[in-house]
Structure 1
Amino acid sequence: MLINFDAGPAALPKEVLQQASEAILNYNNSGLSILEIPHRGKLFEAILEEANTLALELLGLDKNDYQAVWMQGGGRLQFSMIPMNFLAVNETAGYIESGHWASEALKNGKLYGNTNVLGSSKADNFQYIPQWGDTPEDLSYLHFTSNNTIYGTQFHSFPETEVPLIVDMSSELYSRKLDYSKFSLIYAVAQKNIGPAGVTLIVIRKSLLEKQKRVLPEILSYRDMAKNNSVLNTPPVFPIYCSLLTLRWIKAIGMDAMQQSNEEKARLLYDAIDESKLFYGVAKKEDRSMMNACFRTHDDKHTEMFLDFAKERDIVGIKGHRSVGGFRASMYNAISVEDVQRLVSVIKEYENTVN
């Protein structure tokens, strides 16, 4: 069995894959495949209700204050929908530019109003999380990407402000315990740490829903999507069901245990990289990501050689993003400590082989 360290679509828990495969043939003894059940029927209503409940419960959020919304369109749709909904033409939104996807969000924000870049590490190839200073009180919102998959950096502290915080947590949601009530809107594409590709989870403070700034088609309005409980159009039933299975799996493990496991995986891999004479880490140590470890070799001739060496030992998905090269090991929740130990042993074995 291959160990898949890909950044997304990423590894899913084996029991989730098993349960999902059984549901494809016969969902809950209904005689129907999960791919066939009506999206407005009782079977899917129950799935959606439980998924909404768990999505908030695991984040420690009150359903009276927040609502879970499931949408299609991926992160790129959110980059546009956020300013479309919450930034008027004559208003200003704040952005922290810490990576490629943060830059994409900023680019889309400029289409709808004014933007203020509070901090950027673009000039240094996003090797660290930039400082952001004081947050102007007149901002409509402050947007940032909490974990940067391409560059392997992660926010370990957050802006303290009364301005609504909007955060892209696509590659780390449900990986660690935080005070999620700091955020007015959290969004995460499923295919990294929640489920398969095809759905995005939005967790939004209900009071923010009332701050829509322009008339929009219902399908592009958070307020209308929330009002219709994610069923304004036909939702992606199967990805939502798989996400529910993953949320159940996370709940059974517990968020404390999940964070401890993720911390242990990151420690094991970064220790091996730091002790190596052949490999080195790309991101500044104080800003390293617990989810995506990006590293390289001092001599690029080893890049393809190590990828082949690892694949021969059943490790795949560690090739770095095409824009930066090198290696990237994504240690999402479904990756076990034992999986990372296996990668570490392969790193050491390769280094011993070439030395």
Structure 2
Amino acid sequence: MPKVYNFGAGPAKLPEEIYDIIKNELTNYEGTGISLLETSHRSSTYLKLNAEVQDVVRRLMDVPANYKILFMPAGGQGEFAAVPLNLMSRTGTADYVVTGAWSEKAAKEAKKYGKVNLVVPPTNRYTDIPGQSTWNLDPNASYVHICTNETIHGVEFHDIPDTKGVPLVADMSSNFMSKKVDVSKFGVIYGGAQKNIGTSGVALVIVREDLLSNPMPVCPSVLDWTQANKNDSILNTPPMFAIYIMGRVLQWIERKGGLDAMAVAATKKSSLIYDIIEKSNGFYYAPVAKHVRSKMNIPFRIGSSEGNDALEKEFLKGAEARGLIQLKGHRSVGGIRASTYNAVTIEEVETLAQYMKEFLAKHSH
């Protein structure tokens, strides 16, 4: 079997050295003689880990002291409900900037709990982010919600929008910890861990403390950020192993040079793929406008803007034969998608780029 190069969008590749750490700690966690999988969440062992993971998040993102770091159940999609349940009661309305499938799902979920204003006109082709001068922002909104990187459609915010004092809430599931951001410009940052900072089962939430203490009465306790904060994310048994893996991944990022190093690598990796697309004379086609192209998820078609089914199937078959796996585009959009998260190495992306060049040479006329 050839070496496997995993370009999956999530659950995504973990750094290879993390597997060695997990193997070494799985049955004897930090000298306790037992696995973390069977350790009490009220034990000093877990309390220490809980604090360590919060600390590494705070260091990596330079999180201000007036922001709380929470580990929440139900992943990023659980937070689609938690956001309005915790924030909508301020005014009963919220603004949603829908730029892809995930922000569309978030807006749909929020409609269960209050009035949702769609800031940009609805579309079924998510290939751009309309300029902020065209946005229809409501100054009375409880918050403005964006998805900073759309995993399926490959659209990424490269600048933080100005929401005129209304709290900005960001789903960062697929570009968390890929670059530095000014946390103080957000009211809430959240994301599921399984795309760029760990494995499934936990959502990381960073919330400004003045936004706590006013959940809707119907908010379930397990989604209530105020209760989570009061109980240090241990209201009930948390997804301990997912939190542990996230912590080990974040410590790896720190060892590798932090978010500045991740950003440099992300630019290099994504440029390797986009450069081939741009120089292919239309053989490879990237649908997303250049100024909002994602550095984490790169969707493209082969043969034309609508794709050539036979060529795309041949590309995927040839890729798998070389160990290049999970490159098929999301079922809702088709085509090809390469995810180049932090754990994907430059050498792995170079291997994919070389295959793309060879496939182009074989099939272009």
TM-score tier after normalising by the smaller chain length? over 0.9
1:266 aligns with 2:275: no
Q: Which amino acid aligns with 2:123?
A: A
Q: Which amino acid aligns with 2:299?
A: C
Query: After superposition, where does 1:240-279 map in structure 2 within 5 Å?
Result: 240-253=243-256, 254-277=258-281, 278-279=283-284
Please give the per-residue CA displacement for 1:186-205, whole angstroms capped at 9, x wherever unaligned: 11101000111111111111
Q: CA RMSD in A?
A: 1.5
1:238 aligns with 2:247: no
Equivalent in the alignment of 2:311: 302
Conserved in 1, the CA contact under 8 Å of 2:90 and 2:142? no
Equivalent in the alignment of 1:125: 125
Equivalent in the alignment of 2:183: 180
Conserved in 2, the CA contact under 8 Å of 1:93 and 1:116? yes
> Please, which runs of 5 or more residues in structure 2 have no aligned partner?
none
Larger mean CA deviation between 224-233 and 86-95 belongs to: 86-95
Conserved in 2, the CA contact under 8 Å of 1:89 and 1:112? no
The SS at the match of 2:120 is strand
Larger mean CA deviation between 286-295 and 177-186 belongs to: 177-186
1:318 aligns with 2:327: yes
The equivalent position to 2:138 in structure 1, one of 133, 136, 139, is 136
Larger mean CA deviation between 104-113 and 325-334 belongs to: 104-113
Q: Which amino acid aligns with 1:240?
A: I
Q: Which amino acid aligns with 2:195?
A: K
Equivalent in the alignment of 1:78: 79
Aligned length: 353
Query: After superposition, where does 1:66-215 map in structure 2 within 5 Å?
Result: 66-88=67-89, 91-120=92-121, 122-132=122-132, 133=135, 135-160=137-162, 161-214=164-217
User: Partners of 2:239 and 2:297 in 1: how far apart?
Assistant: 27
> Please, which runs of 5 or more residues in structure 1 have no aligned partner?
none
Larger mean CA deviation between 270-279 and 238-247 belongs to: 270-279
The SS at the match of 2:338 is strand
User: Partners of 2:124 and 2:165 in 1: how far apart?
Assistant: 30
**TM-score for the superposition, normalised by structure 1:** 0.96
Conserved in 2, the CA contact under 8 Å of 1:23 and 1:33? yes
1:283 aligns with 2:288: yes
User: Partners of 2:35 and 2:321 in 1: how far apart?
Assistant: 37
Q: Give the superposition deviation at 1:51.
A: 0.3
Q: Which amino acid aligns with 2:263?
A: Q
Conserved in 2, the CA contact under 8 Å of 1:90 and 1:114? no
Q: Which amino acid aligns with 1:105?
A: A
The SS at the match of 1:87 is helix
Equivalent in the alignment of 1:28: 30
The SS at the match of 2:358 is helix
Q: Give the superposition deviation at 1:116.
A: 1.1
1:354 aligns with 2:363: yes
User: Partners of 2:220 and 2:125 in 1: how far apart?
Assistant: 38
Q: Give the superposition deviation at 1:215.
A: 5.3
The SS at the match of 1:172 is coil
User: Partners of 1:142 and 1:105 in 2: how far apart?
Assistant: 12
Conserved in 2, the CA contact under 8 Å of 1:143 and 1:166? yes
User: Partners of 2:150 and 2:71 in 1: how far apart?
Assistant: 22
Q: Give the superposition deviation at 1:89.
A: 9.1
Larger mean CA deviation between 211-220 and 103-112 belongs to: 211-220
Larger mean CA deviation between 216-225 and 1-10 belongs to: 216-225
Q: Which amino acid aligns with 1:313?
A: R
Q: Give the superposition deviation at 1:124.
A: 4.9
1:48 aligns with 2:53: no
User: Partners of 1:178 and 1:80 in 2: how far apart?
Assistant: 24
Larger mean CA deviation between 240-249 and 215-224 belongs to: 215-224
Q: Which amino acid aligns with 1:135?
A: L
Equivalent in the alignment of 2:337: 328
> Percent same amino acid at aligned positions?
38
User: Partners of 1:107 and 1:153 in 2: how far apart?
Assistant: 19
User: Partners of 1:280 and 1:241 in 2: how far apart?
Assistant: 39
**TM-score for the superposition, normalised by structure 2:** 0.93
Q: Which runs of 4+ in 1 moved over 6 A?
A: none
Conserved in 1, the CA contact under 8 Å of 2:120 and 2:136? no
Larger mean CA deviation between 146-155 and 21-30 belongs to: 21-30
Please give the per-residue CA displacement for 1:319-350, whole angstroms capped at 9, x wherever unaligned: 00001100000000001111111100010111
User: Partners of 2:217 and 2:90 in 1: how far apart?
Assistant: 9
The equivalent position to 1:292 in structure 2, one of 282, 289, 297, is 297
Q: Which amino acid aligns with 1:93?
A: A
The SS at the match of 2:68 is strand
Closer/same/farther in 2, CA of residues 269 and 125 from structure 1, 3 Å limit: same
